[in-house]
Amino acid sequence: MAERFKDLVAGEWVDARSGETLRDVNPADTHEVVAEFPSMSAEDVRRAVDAAAEAFPKWKALTPVARGAIMQRAAGLMRERAEQIARDLTREMGKTLREARGEVTRASYFFDYYGAFGRWPIGAYLPDERDGVFTFTMREPVGVVIAIAPWNDPALTPARKMAPALIAGNTVVLKPATLTPLSAWHLMRALHDAGMPRGVVNLVTGPARATGDPLINHPAVRAITFTGSTAVGLDLQAKVAGRNIRVQTEMGGKNALVVLRDADPKLAAELAAAAGFGQSGQRCTATSRVVVEASAREAFMNAFLERTKQITVGPGLDDSTTMGPVVDESQLKTTLDAVESGRREGAAVLFGGERLGGPRYERGYFVTPTILGNVSPSMGVAQEEIFGPVVAVMEATDVEQAIEIVNNTRYGLSASIVTRNLAAAHAFARGVDTGCVAVNLPTVGWDVHTPFGGFKDSGSPYKEHGIEGLQFYTRVKSVAMRVAG
C-alpha cells in the first residue's frame, strides 16, 4: 500500500478536509503507486492563502540575514537527504537517477544562492539636486506569492521560484503538478525542518480544476509565478489581467541547435542527443530542432545517428538506463501523434518513432528516441512544442538562413550554435530572437546566477535566476531624506 502524505498549511501537516486523495504513479511501472496526497478543495486552498497572508508581516519584518540562514539550513538538509529525494523523484517522474540526483543538487543551490542575498546590498544610493538631501531606493516584498510548478523538474522549478520570493520577504503557496507532488513535499519538509515560521511556506496539492481558480483569485495574492505550457500560461495572464497583480510565466520552447560547416560533428551530435533526448525531451529548453548547414549534413547525421543508437531506454532506477519513460499516457500519445503528423507532412523517420514493448517496457510509458529528417520549417514538427524525445533535422545554406529558421516560430526560449567561427557565433547571438543563447554548448543548463527566460510566447518579461530573479518578487520604493540640522 502506498504511503500517504500530507500538505503543509499554516505550519501543520494536514489532509484535505474532504479526505479525498490523489495517486502519484510511477511512469516506468504504472502498477506502482508511489504515494497518495491530499486532493485539496477550494476551501483548503483559501485556508492556505489566508495562512500566507497572516504570516507575511512578521516574515517581512525579519532581517534578510535571518531569512537567509533558514534557507541555507534547508539547502543543507536537501543535500543530506539527496539520495532519498532523487529516488522518489525518479519514481514519480521517470527521469534517470543520475538526472534526478543532479536536479536535487541544483535545487539546493537556489536556496544557498538566494540565502546569501541576506547579506548583499539591495537598493541604490542616488545623488540629489538639493543640498543636504540623501536619496536612496529600497526593495520591498510584494506579499503573498502563488508558485505553480510543472511535473518535468518537480524539485528544481519550485526551488527557483520559492528561493528568491522568500529571501525578498514574501510568503508562498506552492501548487506542484498533480503528477509529481512528492518532490515538492521533500522541499517543503526541508524548509519546515530548517525552522521556517508557520504560514510562510504552504503546500497545496490537487487537480487544477479544483485548486487553480481559488488560488489565483484570492484577494490576498499579489504575485503569481508559473511554469508550464504556453496555452495555460496565456490563459492565466488573461484571467488576472484586470487585477493589477504581477504574473511571471515561463512557458514553451521550440529550441534549435545550429550546426555550421566547420563544426566538429561528434560534438554537435553529443549536444543534440544530450539536449534532445536527455530527460526524454521533457524540458522547456530541450533541443527539438537541429538546423545543419547543407555541406555538414552527412557528417553530422552519421554522428547523430550513431550517438542516438547508444541510448538505453528503461526504468530510471536501472543503472544501465540513459533515457527514462515519458511521464504519462497523455505525453506518450502527444509524442507519437507528433511523429505521425510529421510523417503525413512528408518528414522521414530516420530513427525510432515507436512505443517500446516487451517485459521491460510493458508497464510503462516508454518510447524510442526519434530523429526526423526531410523536415521543412513550416511543418508542425518544426513549429509546435512536442515535449518528448523527438528531434527534427532541417538544412540551411548558411548562418543567415539558419537564423531565419530559428526565429520562424512563436517561441523564443533557447538556441545554440556549433562552430569554430567567432564572427558567425557573434552574428548568431545578435540575430536569434531567444532569451538564452549558447555557443558550442547545449540549449539546456543555465546556472542559478544566470538570468533565464524567453521571448515571444516563451515567457513574460520577468526573468528567473540571478539578481534579475529578485525583481519580480520586489517593488522599488524611493526615499528622499533631509536630516534636520
Does residue 284 have an active-site annotation?
yes
Of 181, 145, 187, nearest to 166 by C-alpha is 145
Q: How far apart are CA 409 and CA 416, in angstroms?
A: 15
Residue 148 has phi, psi (to 5 degrees) of: -110, 115
Angle 210-216-221 from CA coordinates, rounded to 5°: 135
Q: How far apart are CA 43 and CA 132, in angstroms?
A: 54
Q: Hey, is 352 helix, strand or coil? A: coil
Out of 99, 103, 284, 293, pick the active-site residue: 284
Residue 56 has phi, psi (to 5 degrees) of: -60, -50
Q: Look up residue 23 and give its DSSP letter.
A: E
Q: Which three cell numbers stand for residue 423?
A: 564572427
Q: Hey, is 146 helix, strand or coil? A: strand
Q: How far apart are CA 444 and CA 21, in angstroms?
A: 35
Residue 123, classified by CB atoms within 10 Å of its CB into exposed (0-12), middle (13-18) or buried (19+), is middle
Residue 160 has phi, psi (to 5 degrees) of: -70, -20
Residue 124 region, left (φ>0) first, then alpha (ψ -120 to 50), else beta?
A: beta
> In 10 A of CB 207, how many CB atoms?
11
H/E element, 480: strand 474-482
Q: How far apart are CA 38 and CA 2, in angstroms?
A: 13
Q: Look up cell 527521469; give the residue.
A: 95
H/E element, 122: none
Out of 92, 99, 103, 250, pick the active-site residue: 250
**Positions marked catalytic:** 250, 284
